[in-house]
Amino acid sequence: MPIDISAPFTLPCGTTVKNRIAKAPMTEGLADPMNRATSRHETLYRKWAEGGAGILVTGNVQVDRRYLERPGNVVIDQNGGQDELRAFAAAGTLNDTILLMQIGHAGRQTPRRVNPRPVAPSEVALALPESAFGAPRALSSEEVEDVIRRFVHVAKTAKETGFSGVQVHGAHGYLVSEFLSPLANRRDDKWGGSLENRARLLREVVQGIRAEVGPEYPISVKLNSSDFQTGGFSYEDCLQVVKWLEEDTVDLLEISGGNYENPAMMMGGRGADEIRATTIAREAYFMSYAEGIRKATNIPLMVTGGFRTRTAMDAALEEGNVDFIGIGRPMCVDTDAPAQLLSDPDGKAIAYEQKIKPSKGALGWFCLNIIRHADGMEPDRGMTGEQAISDYLVNEENTAAALVGRKLD
Ligand SMILES: Cc1cc2nc3c(=O)[nH]c(=O)nc-3n(C[C@H](O)[C@H](O)[C@H](O)COP(=O)(O)O)c2cc1C
C-alpha cells in the first residue's frame, strides 16, 4: 500500500497520530498583559483542531518573560495561568488532534521594544542594519543552568495542563539555536567551542524534559538543517546533532533552516539551485536535506517550508524521507487546509496562494490573519502589504505597552 497524507503514524513514545499533516508552529501574539493564555487561543485552536491536522504545534511559548520573541507570547513561569492553559489544551486536542507546545527562549532575537538588553551565548549582536534588537550580554554558566530548569518547568506544566506533548525550539536563531552556532557562540567554557559543547544546552534541555515527563510523552525538537551562513551551524553539524538527539529519545524532529539574519525558513536557503533539482524539492525547500538526515537518524521526521500541494506531499511521503508534512502560512488563511487536502486525492494546490512578497509586510500579514481567526472573524485575503506593516506595528506597540509584571535586568 502506498503511503499518503491520510495514513496514521505511531511515534516512538507510543502516541498515534491520525494523519501526516502537522500545522507548523506559528507565534500567535494573543496572551494577556500578564502573558497568560486567553480565550482567543481557545477560539483559534478549536478552529485549527477542527481543520483536520494530525498534529498542531503551538507558537513558541516562552520560558522567561524578560526575553520574549514578541510582546504577546504566552509565558510559563511562576505567575499562574494554569486554568487558561487547560482551556487552550482542551480546544487544541479536540478531534483526536495531537497538540505539541513549542517551548522557546528568544535570546538575542528579543525585540528592543520588549528588552533593549537581551541575553545570548556571547556578546555578539545581530548583524542587521538599523537593528530593532539591542546588543546582548553573555549568559553566565549559572544562568544557562537556569534556562534549562525553565524549559523543564514549562514542559512539566504542558503535561499537567493537558497538552499532548512538547517541542523544543532549537531553530531560527533563538537562544538554543544561537548556542549551536559558532558565529553567535564564542564561549570557551563547556557551553561553547566544539559541537559537543555547543549542543550541550539543547541536549540537557531534552534530557531534563525526558526525565521529568517520562518515556511515554512526546518530545519533539525543531532544528535547522543549516543556518545557511558561512561559519554558522552547518548541515554537517546538523547530521551529528540528530544522532545525539536520537540517543536522547526525541520522538519527532522538525527540519527547518535560517534565522533573522537569513530567513531561509520562509523561502529556502542558499544553495537553492542544488536543492531545486527535483519536483518535490522545488516546492518544499528543505526536502533534499531530509534525505541525508533520514540516513543519519531513525527519529521520525517532519519537514516544514513550502509544501502546498497534495501531489508533492504524497510524493515526499512515498519517497520515504519524511513522515510528517509541516504547513505554516496556508493555515493562517484556511484553518481547514488539512481537511481540504485530505479530501482532494487529485492533488490540486491548497486554496490559499501567497500574494504577499516577503519584503512587503508578509509576516505581519500572516500574524494579523491569525489574530482575526482568534477573534472569530474571517481572514482578510485582500489585505495589502502596506496595511499589514502599519497595523502589525500598532498591534505590537500596544501589546508591549500593556505588559505588566515584568522586571527587566
Ligand atoms: C506568522 C508566522 C509565525 C511563525 N512563528 C513561528 C514560531 O513561533 N516558531 C517556529 O518554529 N516557527 C515559526 N514560524 C515558521 C513556520 O513554522 C514555518 O517554518 C514557515 O512558515 C515555513 O513553512 P510554510 O512555507 O508552510 O509557511 C512562523 C511563520 C509564520 C508565517
Confirm or reject: Cβ of 356 under 6 Å from ligand 1: no
Atom of ligand 1 nearest to the CA of 167: 11
Please give the C-alpha separations between residue 145 and each of 152, 204, 334, in angstroms, as whole numbers. 11, 9, 41
Q: Is residue 293 part of a domain?
A: yes
Q: Which atom of ligand 1 is nearest to the CA of 363?
A: 1
Asked if residue 180 belongs to a domain, the reply is: yes
DSSP-derived 3-state class of residue 112: coil
Residue 264 lies in a domain: yes
**For the chain, how many structural domains are there in total?**
1
Cα separation, 332 vs 120, in Å, equals 31
| 232 contacts: CB under 8 Å, gap ≥ 6 | 181, 182, 183, 226
- Listed residue (245, 259, 322) closest to 288, CA to CA: 322
Q: How far is the CA of 141 from the centre of ligand 1 (A)?
A: 30
pLDDT band at 274 (very low <50, low <70, confident <90, very high): very low
Distance CA 103, CA 101 (A): 6
- Average pLDDT of the residues in 218-243: 96
- pLDDT, residue 345, reads 75
Q: Provide Rg for the chain, Cα atoms.
A: 19
Q: Pick 355 or 368 by higher pLDDT.
A: 368
Note the helical H segments in 132-228: 141-160, 175-180, 195-198, 200-213
Confidence check: pLDDT of 272 > 80? no
Query: Is 3 inside any structural domain?
Result: no
What is the mean pLDDT of the segment spanning 219-248? Answer: 96
CATH of the domain at 300: 3.20.20.70
24 lines ligand 1 (CB under 6 A): yes
Select from 44, 198, 216 the least CA-distant residue to 122: 198
- The pLDDT of residue 35 is above 80: yes
Ligand 1: atom nearest CA of 307 is: 26
Output the CA 358–ligand 1 centroid distance in Å. 13
Size of the chain, expressed as the number of residues it contains? 409
The answer to whether residue 4 is domain-embedded is: no
Domain range for residue 69?
Answer: 9-402
Which ligand 1 atom lies nearest to the CA of residue 169?
A: 11
Ligand 1 geometric centre to CA of 328 (Å): 5
The verdict on the CB of residue 373 being under 6 Å from ligand 1 is: no
The model's pLDDT over 104-136, given as tens digits with 9 standing for 90+, comes to: 999 999 999 999 999 999 999 999 876 799 999
Of 146, 177, 171, the closest CA to residue 185 belongs to 177
Q: If you average pLDDT over residues 11-31, what whole number do you get?
A: 98
Low-confidence winner among 47-51, 90-94, 215-219, 383-387 (lowest mean pLDDT): 383-387
3-state helix, strand, coil in the chain (%, to 5): 40, 10, 50
User: Which residue do the cell numbers 487536502 mark?
Assistant: 341
Q: For residue 353, what pLDDT band results from cuts at 50, 70 and 90?
A: low
What number is the average pLDDT over the span 318-324? 96
pLDDT mean over 203-208: 98
Name the region of 236 (left: φ>0; alpha: ψ -120 to 50; beta: rest). alpha
pTM over 0.75: yes
Burial of 132 (0-12, 13-18, 19+ CB in 10 A): exposed
More confident residue, 281 or 262: 262
Does residue 1 form part of some domain? no
Residue 409 burial class via C-beta count within 10 angstroms: exposed 0-12, middle 13-18, buried 19 and up: exposed
The confidence band for 361, taking pLDDT boundaries of 50, 70 and 90, is confident
In a domain, 145, yes or no: yes
User: Which residue owns the Cα nearest ligand 1 atom 15?
Assistant: 26
- Return the H-helix or E-strand segment holding 311: helix 310-319
The ligand 1 atom at the shortest distance from the C-alpha of residue 366 is: 1
- Of all protein residues, whose CA lies closest to atom 28 belonging to ligand 1? 26
State the average pLDDT over residues 262-291.
71
Q: Which of 21, 23, 26, 68 to mutate to test the pocket of ligand 1 (most atoms within 8 A of CB)?
A: 26
Ligand 1 atom 10: residue of nearest CA: 25
For residue 262, the CA-to-ligand 1 centroid distance in Å is 14
Residue 407 lies in a domain: no
Residue 373 pLDDT more than 90? yes
Atom 7 of ligand 1, residue of closest alpha carbon: 26
* Arithmetic mean of pLDDT, 259-286: 70
SS (H, E, C) 214-262: CCCCCEEEEEECCCCCCCCCCHHHHHHHHHHHHHCCCCEEEEECCCCCC
Cell numbers standing for residue 69: 520573541
